[in-house]
Amino acid sequence: MSYKNIFTEIDGPLGIITIDRPKKLNALNRLTIDELRDAFITLDDDDDIRAIIVTGSGEKAFVAGADISEFADFDQEQGRQLAKKGQNDLFDLVAGLSTPVIAAINGFALGGGLELAMASHIRVASTNAKMGLPEVSLGLIPGYGGTQRLPQLVGKGKALEMITTGGMITAEEAFDYRLVNHVVSQEELLSFCESLGKKIARNSPMAIAEAINAVNANYNQSVNGFEVEIKAFGACFGTDDFKEGTGAFLEKRKPDF
């Protein structure tokens, strides 16, 4: 796969996506969003890929927000379409992928960058990471799902504090707020995420996909998450992965999914 603003690598069962606009602190412009969408879909469609890691190139930034120069002169309808397209094409896509996505957050994760990390299923931050949603300082609000996903992760009060102040928090604060799962040194960040991805890769990809769908259902008011879980649980019994997993357990061996 050849891209202009990102590059992808395959490491065994892992797909690694690196956003590569270091001069722009890896800011998200329309081309980068389109390329990320294509890369996520391609890796998710590959049965050999069991986990996806997304990160930013260089030491300064994961993604330092959206590329403001692209929309500074937009009117109301163009702004609405910008948010709608971004959510549909990338952020909701990532959240709903059947392959787990791990965000390796190095440096700044601001605005759309933090929203991309929050759309990911698991977040790991380096000790130098700084996170925030500074949109109100531009006369905007978060438009790529930030007002919805941040309260789900940190609670309403802390989310409103972060959004209304527009300030940044440290990696340790993000861990305390349960915004990130782990904090590691910058040198360890990618290897830690790879180790986490390989742990995931040992398990049933079918069951993982069903688990992601069931957990996501809890945050969709239009569906009954318990019913989704019951249906998915039952469906697992008709799969080869169930036969292999239970067979391996009874035979006291490791399963081969």
Active site residues: 115, 135
| CB-based contact 19:56 (threshold 8 Å) | yes
| CB-based contact 190:184 (threshold 8 Å) | no
Quote the CA–CA distance of 247 and 217 in Å, as a whole number. 30
53: amino acid identity, one letter: I
Helices and strands in the chain, H and E counts: 11, 10
Q: What string of DSSP letters covers 145-209?
A: SHHHHHHHHH-HHHHHHHHHH--EEEHHHHHHTTSSSEEE-TTTHHHHHHHHHHHHHTS-HHHHH
> How many C-beta atoms lie closer than 10 Å to residue 35's C-beta?
23
| CB-based contact 64:26 (threshold 8 Å) | yes
With CA atoms as reference, report the closest residue to 126 among 167, 166, 177, 172.
Answer: 172
Residue 144 DSSP one-character state: S
